[in-house]
Structure 1
Amino acid sequence: MLHGIIDIGSNTIRLAVYLIEGGHFEQLMKRKHTVGLASYVEDGIMQPEGIERAVEILQEYKKLLHCFKITKVAAFTTAALRNARNSREAVGEIEQRTGIKIRVISGDEEATFDFIGATHSLNNASGLLIDIGGGSTEIVTYSERQIVHKTSLPIGSLGFAKKYVSSILPTMSECTEMYGEAEATIGAAEDFLNVCEAEIVGIGGTFKGACALNNELFNLPAANRRLETKNIRTLISTFVTDLGLTQEMTVALMRSVPERIQTIIPGLVIANVLARRFQSHWITYSDSGVREGYIYDQIIGK
């Protein structure tokens, strides 16, 4: 049966259509709008403009689903709407105007779905999983394919860009401010103080963009999904605005992360702090995450 999954994230709003049969599923198509929903939150309140953008995109997705008679539709939202003080009112208005029921998943649920989706096809039974989103960062440690610790931290690439970056790309001093908040927030996650993992399984746009930018800068194959953590600081220092950008650097940035130019460096700052904290040498990007985890747990598993 055809299912539509709508993921209303802090940075992007996505629709993916899956063919789900028994315990198996296949992604047939996906649509994505880079909205930056978290940037519409002012003083903790989701502004009417953000609600309007969400409604506009969901109505577009609804037309597509209706055209192909896809009636099995699940929509959920993460940090941007979850953390807004007017979350209930904002979500209620979007539901009323679109006719689409939206589930606000908690940070704990998001971390669980991330884990299920990303690790379902991995060979490693134990490890460390991280999802750096636009408005939050989920961290999961697991052993024997079971979650040991999980948390959702209120730091994300878009949130940092909005809070600290005055232009398109940050200055080194702005990076220093971001490092300070990331280190304080991650350091307060007591369950992870003694975690040490050589490799991180990374999901989400920051890690996808990091691999693409790393491949472009270090002349690696475009399909490569592994990143040495020591390269993260090089990526950050290359694209801060203090020394100016060469044409070659601009081409690399626009070619590899055109939709994440404003958020990639803030996201990499968080990634760098995490890699240092956990003494990780490698990051492997997984293309499966919260949507796939939702399918396994909420659709196939029921």
Structure 2
Amino acid sequence: MLQGIIDIGSNTIRMAVYLIEGGHFEQLMKWKHTIGLASYVEDGVMQQAGIDRAVETILEYKEILYCFKISKVEAFTTAALRNAQNSRQAVAEIEDRTGITISVISGDEEATLDFIGATHSLNNTSGLLIDIGGGSTEIVTYRDRQIQYKTSLPIGSLSFAKKYVHSILPTMQECLEMNGEAEATIGAAADFSNICEAEIVGIGGTFKGACALNNELFNLPAVNQRLETKNIRQLIGNFVSDLGMTQDMAVSLMRSVPERIQTIIPGLVIADVLARRFQSHWITYSDSGVREGYIYSRILEK
């Protein structure tokens, strides 16, 4: 059967179409709009403009589904909508105007789905999994393919950009302020105080963008999906607005992460704090995450 999955995230709203046969599935097509829903939250309340943008995007995706006669569609949302004070009302309005039922995934559920989706395509049975999203960051440690600890932290690339960055790119002082909140938030996650892992499995747009930017700057193949954590601080330093970014650096940024120019550095600040906190030397990006985990746990197991 053909199955549509709509992922209403804090930074992007994505839809993917999968062919599901038996216990297996194949992604056929995917679409993405960088809406930045988290930026529409004012004083904890999702504004009407954000609701309207979400409705507009989902209705566009419905047209695609209708064109291909795809009747099976499921949608879920994460940090931007679940954390809003008017979450229930906002979700209800989007459902009423689009005709699509939306599951609100908790932070704990998101961490679990990230783990399920990513580990199906990994060979290592133990490790550290991190998803830096627009409005939250999920961390999972696992042993023998079983979750050991998991948490969802209220820090993300878009929420940091909105809170701290007053222009397109952050200043050094703004990076230090983001670094301070990230360290305090991560330091408060007591279950992870003794965790030390040489390698991080990274999922989500920040790690995808980090790999693309790393490959561009260090002349690595575009298909490379690994980066050394020691490079993260250099990546950040190249694009701090008051440290004299060169034209070549600007070209590299626009070429590799055009849709994440305003959020990639805040995301990298969080990644840098996490890598140093867990004494990690490498990050490997995985393209499978919450959507694939949703299919495994919510659709295939029905």
Q: TM-score range by the shorter chain?
A: over 0.9
1:200 is aligned with what amino acid? I
* Matched position secondary structure for 1:259: helix
Unaligned runs of 5+ in 2: none
2:159 aligned residue = 159
1:108 aligned residue = 108
Structure 1 residues 178-217: aligned runs within 5 Å: 178-217=178-217
Is the counterpart of residue 292 in structure 1 residue 298 in structure 2? no
1:229 aligned residue = 229
1:127 aligned residue = 127
* Greater displacement, 275-284 / 63-72: 63-72
* Greater displacement, 60-69 / 48-57: 60-69
1:301 Cα shift?
Answer: 1.8
1:24 Cα shift?
Answer: 0.6
2:21 aligned residue = 21
1:121 is aligned with what amino acid? S
1:245 Cα shift?
Answer: 2.1
* Matched position secondary structure for 1:298: helix
1:19 is aligned with what amino acid? L
Unaligned runs of 5+ in 1: none
CA displacement, residues 108-154 of structure 1 (integer Å, 9 cap, x when unaligned): 11000000001112110000000000000000000000000000000
Structure 1 residues 68-147: aligned runs within 5 Å: 68-147=68-147
* Matched position secondary structure for 1:176: helix
1:37 is aligned with what amino acid? L
1:68 Cα shift?
Answer: 1.2
CA displacement, residues 195-230 of structure 1 (integer Å, 9 cap, x when unaligned): 000000000000000000000011111000001000
1:61 aligned residue = 61
TM-score (norm 1): 0.99
Assess if the C-alpha contact under 8 Å between 2:237 and 2:243 holds in 1: no
1:130 is aligned with what amino acid? I
1:270 is aligned with what amino acid? I
CA displacement, residues 39-59 of structure 1 (integer Å, 9 cap, x when unaligned): 000000000000000000000
The separation in 2 between residues aligned to 1:243 and 1:58, in whole angstroms, is: 41
TM-score (norm 2): 0.99
Is the counterpart of residue 32 in structure 1 residue 29 in structure 2? no
1:244 Cα shift?
Answer: 2.6
* Matched position secondary structure for 1:232: helix
Structure 1 segments of 4 or more deviating over 6 A? none
Is the counterpart of residue 45 in structure 1 residue 45 in structure 2? yes
2:150 is aligned with what amino acid? K
The separation in 2 between residues aligned to 1:184 and 1:10, in whole angstroms, is: 22
1:224 is aligned with what amino acid? N
> Sequence identity, in percent?
83
2:275 is aligned with what amino acid? A
Q: CA RMSD in A?
A: 0.5
Is the counterpart of residue 265 in structure 1 residue 265 in structure 2? yes
1:180 Cα shift?
Answer: 0.4
* Matched position secondary structure for 1:223: coil
* Matched position secondary structure for 1:168: coil
The separation in 1 between residues aligned to 2:231 and 2:296, in whole angstroms, is: 34
